[in-house]
Structure formats: structure tokens, C-alpha cells
Amino acid sequence: MTTADELISLVRAYNPRSNEKLLREAYAFGEAMHAGQFRHSGEPYFTHPVAVAMILAEQQMDDATIATALLHDTIEDTKASYSEVAKRFGEEIAELVDGVTKLTNLQLNSAHSKQAENFRKLFMAMSRDLRVMLVKLSDRLHNMRTIKSMRVEKQAQKARETMEIFAPLAGRMGMQWMREELEDLAFRVLNPEARNSIMRRFITLQKESGDVIEKITSDMRIELEKAGIVAEVSGRAKRPYSIWRKMQEKDQGFSRLSDIYGFRIVTATEADCYRVLGAVHQRWRAVPGRFKDYISQPKTNGYRSIHTTVSGRDGKRVEVQIRTREMHDVAETGVAAHWSYKNGERVENRFAVDPVRWISSLTERLDDEHDHDEFLEAVKLEMYQDQVFCFSPKGDVIKLPRGATPIDFAYAIHTRIGSACVGAKVDGIRVPLWTRLKNGQSVDIITAEGQTPQATWIDIVVTGRAKSAIRRSLREEDRERFIKLGAELARVAFENVGKKATQKALRTAAKTLVLEDEDELLARLGSAELTAREVVRAIYPDLAEREGEEVDQSRAVIGLSPDQSFHRAPCCQPVPGERIVGITFRGQGVVVHAIDCQALAAYEAQPERWVDLHWQEGKHPAINTVTLEVSISNDAGVLGRICTLIGEQSANISDMNFIDRKPDFYKLQIDVDLRDVEHLHRVMTALEAESNVASISRLRDPSRAQTTPAKS
């Protein structure tokens, strides 16, 4: 365990005026209060507060924050009281310790509606003093570093909580290094097979190409020396979870991912940043569409840097970040840079965001969300996404999350504009409303009187503001229809567990889920904001967990009228768990497409044929065929192992077709029968981990789409 002298030495290295007496007393008090307590690993419990203090000292935090870390569990887990901490260490530290205690007591993994209220409390605590959250994040980081000593089920719970709440919150605060480490530690628990697969691929890649990072770093230093620019150059491989997320987003295998290496160039001045950019682009070819200037358009958490991707040595794509030292300090510590020291003095980093102003700007946008679920969704959306900057026809800059659509843009201007939106022009060209906007584009929204939000928009938009406005409008317009549909869903769900969906039962469920009344519960159930299983679980949790019958395939999709049949579109082959929409064909039922299917563009001008659908909650049978395109090495026994791997995942191969045969590899299409999207991911992960699989992807072919027009 780190001693008091070692901790104080680290703090005094960046803050020679540190209050050594305060830190030493906090260390001694915490050690005495936790005497006789032990962690799951068997270590003395006080090793944890000391480790948290060391993490914060590495971020060069002030004395009050370091002392709070040493004391952060004393009020909760020992006989120490608030008044005793205040008397010994002052009101400031007592308030911080009390704030951390309250955050620790929030059960963030509890019921969904309660979780939303906990988020409100979490942001209230942050608004009083952001250092409370800095201590809590460091507390979570150390717990994740030592998570192996916990029970397996507790590990999974903490890892999910970390991935869903604490990692994105660290990123939203600009602490990117902490976000990446938290994500990777959670990833190690939640999907160890996938992480190990990526690590094995890295080892293989290093054996094949040598130390690519050192080679490219050396090349960059030479180019900067030629240009007469003094700068620090460093590089690293991206973390396994970051690579995994790219693989999922781009639906690509490891071998097809390009930018798995990142390089950073830190300069003396802002002008040098742009000189470096010129030197890099002059030496290496820039990749189109991969340039972002966060110096001229900073992120809301104060982040400033130039990002570009170039084709480096041997044609490998590498990401390059260019920034000044001040920008780098903010990029490393985010909002925490407000408390940083330099040469023993508290210095004001001109790029650091004022914590009070930052948290106020975040909470103000969420104050009008009275609905618990919508508040939670809005908070998570606010925290997760990077931003893009688009322009209105008047030249106003509109900030949106990455992946935002013209509908999000319209609602960002005004709710009335969003609700009346019927089309959009991007850079003067008419585009579908589900188009993903990019940095620097000009967006012109086309509106029409009498237009109202469409149900399919919910799955298209990404901002909390747009989702909330659309849902409010749909609830008002379709409330009666949703109540009737919800009543039918509730009846079936309760019958499945041998109960009746009486008015009293529904009223009790509404009360448990913190809803106004049973009509509100049914309306949300009918609009897919609640699942039937959640309603049953609210009253009969044990029965809900035991209910595991397979979903009747004639009722696998919700949203159809009684006389409508359906079948899955062959172009995108949607599976349960994916967002879907239906296209009607007169006399032929409804064709179900994934919401991002390219074939849907053909029906943009026929909104009357669109049907809002979602999958029935529950266990689906493994009858949903998905075509996988796989490249494998041409070696003895490889094909047999591939078939065995698929079988081990309880999936059936219904067809197989070789589409390319070469001396060194085969490319084939395999039709696999699956239950849902999770089943699909497990199969693809198992194949991706096989060393003889060069690439694997899910085949989606718009040319397979049904094109028969609806009959009049």
C-alpha cells in the first residue's frame, strides 16, 4: 500500500505549497476508521481510498480533492459522522465526502424509472461541486481495476453500470483516457472472448509487420524536422474495446479495419498546429471525409484538436491528432483541468471549461424533461455522442450528436419546425430524412402545414430532444389506439403467466413503475415504450423470470392489423432485437425491413405504405435466416471447424455457397438460422476469433429487395 509519505511526495511534486498536515491527518484518520475492514481480495480496505487518492494526484488535483479521496468511504462505512469530518477537516471537505457518499448510495442499476430519478440526483450533486464526480469516477476506476475479486454476477453488474453510465460520463467530462480504460475494463468482463480475439489479432499483426508505431513515429519526426517545426510525436494502438466498437459500427472484421493506430503531435502554438497539418498532408495522402477541426469548432467540454486520417507506411490508415500543450492538458483531464497546477501554482488554462458553467449548460437542457424515461434517455444521449456542426440557410451553427439526421436538425431549431418537417436539402440536394449529417454541411428543412411526426421517426432520430417531442406528439395523437393495443398486449402477457390483466392489477403495476394511472401504462405499452414483460415483472417478478416460452411466430411482430401477414425482407434479413419498419404490398401482406435498410429509399415518397413495427418481447425460435459472407484460408479441416463453431453456438446451417475459390483462400456465403441479434453476434464473434477466418460480414444486398408495387 502506498504510504502517506509517498502520496504527499507525489502531490508536492506538482504543488509544493500543498498542505502536508491536512493530507497526513486525512491519511491517518481514514486508516484508523477503516482498521479491521478488508476488501473481497483480502487486502486491508484502506488500500482502496489510498489508490483513489493516487489516481487523483496523478491528475494533479487540489488538496481538498485528495483528502476527500482518502475519506470518501468514512461516513458510509465507518463510525465517523459528517460533523466529525467537518470538525477535523472543514466544511468544504465534509461536503465533498458527503456528496460522494450520496452518489455511492444511488442504486444506478435499479429499475429503469428509478434509475432516471437517480440520474437527476447525480446531476444535482455534480452541479454543487464537480469534484464529487471526479472522486467517484476515480473510485469506480480502481474498483474496475480490481474487479476480479468480486463474485461473477457482481462483476457483470458493475461492468454494465460502468459501460452505460460512468464511462460515457467520463468522456462527456473530457477525460478520454479514463473513459477508454473504464470501457476496456468493462469489456474484459462483459465479452472476454471478443477481447481476447482482438488481442490475438494484434499479436499476429505485430509479428507480421513489426513495430509499426515506432516506424511511423520516426517518419513523422523526420518530416517535422524538415519543415522546421518543434513538436512532440507519440503513437499507440487503440484499445481493444475501441476497435471492437468500430468493428460493430462498420460491420467489418479486424482484418478490414484500417485506423487501429493513433498518433498525437503536440506543438507550442496554435499556428504550429496548422503548419504540422500541412506537413503531414504534404507527405501522406489524406483520407477524404476524415478531417475534423476542433480548434476552430471546440467541443462543449473544452476539447480542442485537429483530427485527420492519412494513408501511412505500407498504405496503413492512421489517425493523427494535432494540438498545443494547453489543448493537450484539457484533452487529457477535461473539466478537471480547471483545478490543475503548473510549477507549483494554480494556473488558468484558457481552454479549460468553467465547471459551473459546463454543468449548468448540461442540466438546463434537461430541466424540461418531466418524464423519467425520457429524462434518462436524454441524459445518456447528451453524454455519449461526439458532435457535428451543421449550418442553417442563414449561416447559424447547429451542434448535433454524431449520427444526427435532418429531423434532429429541425427539432434543434424549434419543435414546431421539427413536427412540420416533410423533407430536407443538404448542400442544396434533396436527401432522405434518415440521412446522417456530416461536419460543415448546410441543411435546409422543408415544412408543410398540417404535417405531424411519423412513428418511424423514433428509430431515425438520435437526440433526446427530438425523441421526446416525437413521443409526446404521438402519445397525444394516437393515445386511444395505443391504449387498445397495450390492453391486448397486457392481456396476452398476463395469461402467459396464468394471471389476468385486471384494472386493479394494471393500476398496481402503474404505481410500481411510477406512472400516473393504468391508461398511461397501457399507452406506453402500446407505443413500445414499455415491454409486456416489464409490466408483468412489476407485480409478479418471479413469474416473469420463469416465463420463457418461445414467441409464437404468427405474432412475432407487433403493429400489424389482425388481417395482415408479414415476411422478412431478403435484402436486409432483419432479426429480433433490431429496429424494424414494414412496407405494405396490397394482397401480399407486409415486408419487414431493418430501419437502416438501403432499399427503403425506394418508398420515401409513399409514406402511406409504411407501418411502425417492433418485435414481440420474449424468446424467439432459431428460424430467422441470416447470410454470412466468410473468407477462410484454403487449408485442410478449416471448413469443418467453421461448421463446428457455428453448431457450438446452437445455430443451424441451412445453406452454403462458394462464391470465390483461390489457391490460398475460399470466399463463401453461409445461411445460418438464428434466434435474434444477440445470437447473431455470438456466432460472428466465434468465427471472428478463429485464426483461419480472414474476414466475416453480414450480407445485406439491396438488389434482393421486393419491388412489386402495391396494387390499387
CB contact set of 557 (below 8 Å; sequence gap of 6+): 566, 580, 582, 590, 592, 613, 614, 615, 616
Helix ranges (H only) for 569-688 are 638-648, 677-688
| Closest among 193, 150, 190, 186 to 168, alpha carbons compared | 186
Q: Angle of helix 240-250 relative to helix 176-190, nearest 10 degrees?
A: 80
**CB-based contact 628:698 (threshold 8 Å):** yes
Q: For 239, which DSSP code?
A: P
The three state secondary structure string of 594-623 is ECCCHHHHHHCCCHHHEEEEEECCCECCCC
The residues, ordered by sequence, that sit 6+ positions from 346 with a Cβ below 8 Å of its Cβ are 62, 339, 340
- Tell me, yes or no, if 671 is annotated catalytic: no
Q: Which residue has the cell 430532444?
A: 465
Asked whether the beta carbons of 68 and 93 are under 8 A apart, the reply is yes
CA 71 to chain centre: 32
Annotated active-site residue in 25, 77, 92, 604: 77
DSSP of 53-65 = HHHHHHTT--HHH
Which among 25, 31, 63, 76 is annotated as catalytic?
76
- C-alpha distances (whole Å) from 542 to each of 536, 539, 548 are 10, 9, 12
Listed in sequence order, the residues at least 6 apart from 139 whose beta carbon sits closer than 8 Å to its beta carbon are: 48, 52, 69, 72, 100, 104
The cell numbers describing 352, all together, are: 479549460
Indicate if 382 belongs to the active site: no
Q: At what angle do helices 532-539 and 503-512 cross, to 10 degrees?
A: 90
Do residues 65 and 96 make contact, with C-beta atoms less than 8 angstroms apart? Answer: yes
What residues does 264 pair with on adjacent strands? Answer: 234, 321
Strand partners, 322: 265, 306
| Cell, residue 631 | 473468407
As a 3-state breakdown, the chain gives helix, strand, coil percent values, each rounded to 5, of 50, 15, 30
CA distance 245 to 236: 17
Grid cell digits, residue 484: 387498445
**Helices marked H in 497-602:** 503-512, 518-526, 532-539, 541-546
Of 390, 396, 384, nearest to 408 by C-alpha is: 390
Q: For 371, which DSSP code?
A: S
Is residue 669 a contact partner of residue 629, using CB atoms and an 8 Å limit? yes
Q: Which long-range contacts (CB under 8 A, 24 or more apart) does 498-502 make?
A: 498/543, 499/536, 499/540, 499/543
Cα distances (angstroms) measured from residue 698 to each of 120, 239, 629, 669, 701: 40, 24, 6, 9, 10
Burial 224-240 (b: 16+ CB within 10 A, else e): beebebebebebeebbb
The answer to whether 694 touches 665, Cβ cutoff 8 Å, is yes
Residues forming the active site = 76-77
